[in-house]
Copies of this chain bind each other. A is one copy, B any other.
């Protein structure tokens, strides 16, 4: 089974995490995860293509913001809240609390066609 690399807690870098969070789709994803707990990658309610979503998930995983757990063919995502709070207390909650602005950013995202869901590629 393929294993996915996750940085250890003491390897987490503030600049990398801030860069990973500086995107409206990724902010929306972490807000959904904060509400839902662990969630299959495919259930994320976002108007982005599957490949775009994979890129965002990888960016967040490599920064240490989320954990990806492989269960069969499913990739289950969860926030690494404990690790983040231990290393950068208050950072994640401050970002999650910035509700209004994140909502504003998310509303400005143009929907993209979803790959492989309508029986064809765009």
Contacts and interface: CB of A to CB of B under 8 A. Distances in A.
A89 interface: yes
Interface string A10-33: 001111101101111001000000
B13 A101 contact: yes
B98 A87 contact: yes
A101 B24 contact: no
Interface residues of A, number: 26
Given A19-B19, A19-B22, A14 B91 contact: no
A94 B14 CA distance: 11
Given A13-B105, A89-B97, 15 more contacts: A13-B104, A14-B95, A14-B101, A14-B105, A15-B23, A15-B105, A18-B19, A18-B95, A88-B94, A88-B98, A89-B94, A90-B94, A91-B91, A91-B98, A93-B94
